[in-house]
Amino acid sequence: MEKNVEILSREIVKPSSPTPDDKRILNLSLLDILSSPMYTGALLFYAADPQNLLGFSTEETSLKLKKSLSKTLPIFYPLAGRIIGSFVKCNDEGAVFIEARVDHLLSEFLKCPVPESLELLIPAEAKSREAVTWPVLLIQANFFSCGGLVITICVSHKITDATSLAMFIRGWAESSRGLGITLIPSFTASEVFPKPLDELPSKPMDRKEEVEEMSCVTKRFVFDASKIKKLRAKASSNLVKNPTRVEAVTALFWRCVTKVSRLSSLTPRTSVLQILVNLRGKVDSLCENTIGNMLSLMILKNEEAAIERIQDVVDEIRRAKEIFSLNCKEMSKSSSRIFELLEEIGKVYGRGNEMDLWMSNSWCKLGLYDADFGWGKPVWVTGRGTSHFKNLMLLIDTKDGEGIEAWITLTEEHMSLFECDQELLETASLNPPVLI
């Protein structure tokens, strides 16, 4: 499909009103500083209105998006700035807005949405590992020949996580519908987790800095609502009688990749699961609308693959959550607790060659399917797709909010075993068509 995507225009969209002088410099928090210099992004797919045979008008739709974006940026003012070292210069330079034409039918595209094809709908700058030198916010509006539309939103990971991205998308969509932005962002993360006066911790928060880039494969596995219900029942135990969707799928993932490692290794290896956890609502001084990388890692160890049953894995996840909640309470009393957690994470990476490191990240319940810009809600939402880093799983809601899509990146050897695992295939479908 590569030859079928044509860039029509590229321009800078500036805020509709200037940023006040007292907000021109925004210090990054400790967790922002330690995050990877790359972009996090979401793709929102909109089918053409069947009553409008022409579909989305490139000119009218782009104008509507750019005008509403301009009105949104004064509220999310750092996204119109530029990152310089450990702070954002909020100079209103603006966001990049790209229009692209896709000579392809959206319905055909969604029959087999392979990760590689998604890359063609993403701004070229977002694929760079030097995101700190580029604009903070990149938008690409992809107009399909059938009248369908895909809006790609990419934001620098140095200042946003998935929750921050979802807040921005919600505010932009409300602005596009002519409404006031209902969730006003807070840019106070550096007050909760300030940059230390002495040297930074030696290990970065974001695992992507630590993992060797190598030849990997990313594939999409879909757990529909009925299969999720069965999986949750299977994963229930005396300790956890009603596991969540995310707990059940995460447990299955860890169990299956641990089996894969055992099949491909001469001796059993310790399997370590790292779960990214949103600190909002857990650390008392951190409000729910805080923008930034408000994330930490919850770490679970399976010594020599000793934990066998999926119920036992769910039990371990729930125990780890309880311990993590206690750590967050300590963090609420003293921000120095974050340094102790970083040290613990650093020790795990220090033994990376001796253990298998896996990571799970959930975008569930972020409300991305509510992004209505004035022409209805998206028929499909997904993240970036491909990854250059192994052993990652990204979980995203299905449209009905009951199922889960899992985007999993493994080495080619591990994926060839993983995708044939019968326990996995009992509950997941490999890249089924997206239903419009």
**SS (HEC) of 338-349:** HHHHHHHHHHHH
Q: Give the pLDDT confidence score for residue 290 in this predicted structure.
A: 97
Distances (CA, A) of 135 to 157, 184, 292, 384, 422: 12, 22, 16, 18, 45
Q: CA 41: distance to chain centroid? A: 7
Known active-site residue 22: no
Whether 167 has a pLDDT exceeding 70, the answer reads: yes
Q: Give the pLDDT confidence score for residue 195 in this predicted structure.
A: 83
Number of other CB atoms surrounding residue 325 within 10 Å: 12
Task: Please enumerate in sequence order all residues whose Cβ is within 8 A of that of 105, keeping only pairs 6 or more positions apart, or say none.
Answer: 144, 145, 146, 148
Cβ atoms of residues 139 and 336 within 8 Å: no
Helix (H, G, I), strand (E, B) or coil at 358: strand
292: alpha, beta or left, given left = phi > 0 and alpha = psi -120 to 50?
A: left
Topology (CATH) of 5-192? Chloramphenicol Acetyltransferase (3.30.559)
Least confident of 153-167, 282-296, 348-362: 348-362
The mean pLDDT value for 35-60 works out to 81
Number of other CB atoms surrounding residue 279 within 10 Å: 23
> How many percent of the chain have pLDDT more than 70?
86
Helix (H, G, I), strand (E, B) or coil at 161: coil
Q: Give the pLDDT confidence score for residue 265 in this predicted structure.
A: 81
Topology (CATH) of 216-365+381-430? Chloramphenicol Acetyltransferase (3.30.559)
Task: Please enumerate in sequence order all residues whose Cβ is within 8 A of that of 163, keeping only pairs 6 or more positions apart, or say none.
Answer: 278, 280, 294, 366
Q: Give the pLDDT confidence score for residue 200 in this predicted structure.
A: 59
State the Cα–Cα distance between residues 36 and 208, nearest whole angstrom: 7
Q: Given CA atoms 337, 166, 75, 182 in this order, what sign does their dihedral have?
A: negative
Cβ atoms of residues 141 and 97 within 8 Å: yes
Burial of 423 (0-12, 13-18, 19+ CB in 10 A): middle
- Give the residues across from 95 on adjacent strands: 13
State the Cα–Cα distance between residues 151 and 130, nearest whole angstrom: 23
Cβ atoms of residues 146 and 41 within 8 Å: no
Task: End-to-end CA distance of the chain: give it in Å, rounded.
Answer: 20
Number of other CB atoms surrounding residue 210 within 10 Å: 17
Cβ atoms of residues 156 and 136 within 8 Å: yes
- Name the pLDDT band for 328 (thresholds 50, 70, 90): confident
Whether 201 has a pLDDT exceeding 70, the answer reads: no
Q: Give the pLDDT confidence score for residue 211 in this predicted structure.
A: 46
DSSP class of residue 119 equals G
Instruction: Name which residue leads in pLDDT, 303 or 406.
Output: 406
Q: Give the pLDDT confidence score for residue 24 in this predicted structure.
A: 97
Whether 333 has a pLDDT exceeding 70, the answer reads: no
- Name the pLDDT band for 205 (thresholds 50, 70, 90): very low
Element (H, E) at 219: strand 216-223
Whether 250 has a pLDDT exceeding 90, the answer reads: yes
Q: Among all chains, which residue has been given the structure tokens 């003012």?
A: 77
Known active-site residue 372: yes
- Name the pLDDT band for 436 (thresholds 50, 70, 90): low
- Name the pLDDT band for 147 (thresholds 50, 70, 90): confident
Cβ atoms of residues 206 and 157 within 8 Å: yes
Catalytic, out of 32, 104, 157, 397:
157
Q: Give the pLDDT confidence score for residue 209 in this predicted structure.
A: 42
Give the model confidence (pLDDT) of 117-139 as tens digits.
899 999 988 877 655 567 999 99
Instruction: Name which residue leads in pLDDT, 74 or 324.
Output: 74
Give the pair of three-digit tokens for residue 159: 């200042």
Q: Give the pLDDT confidence score for residue 203 in this predicted structure.
A: 46
Catalytic, out of 92, 312, 370, 372:
372
Q: CA 149: distance to chain centroid? A: 21
Backbone angles phi, psi at 271, to 5 degrees: -105, 125
* Confidence (pTM): 0.93
The mean pLDDT value for 145-163 works out to 94
Helix (H, G, I), strand (E, B) or coil at 359: strand
Whether 142 has a pLDDT exceeding 90, the answer reads: yes
Q: Among all chains, which residue has been given the structure tokens 């972009």?
A: 39
Q: Give the pLDDT confidence score for residue 6 in this predicted structure.
A: 94
Give the model confidence (pLDDT) of 341-356 as tens digits.
677 666 666 565 678 9
Element (H, E) at 13: strand 5-13
Backbone angles phi, psi at 22, to 5 degrees: -75, 0
Give the pair of three-digit tokens for residue 51: 């009553």
CATH 3.30.559.10 domain span(s) along the chain: 5-192, 216-365+381-430
Cβ atoms of residues 287 and 184 within 8 Å: no
Q: In degrees to the nearest 10, what's the CA dihedral of 77, 83, 84, 85?
A: 120
Q: Give the pLDDT confidence score for residue 336 in this predicted structure.
A: 63
Q: CA 342: distance to chain centroid? A: 21
Helix (H, G, I), strand (E, B) or coil at 134: coil
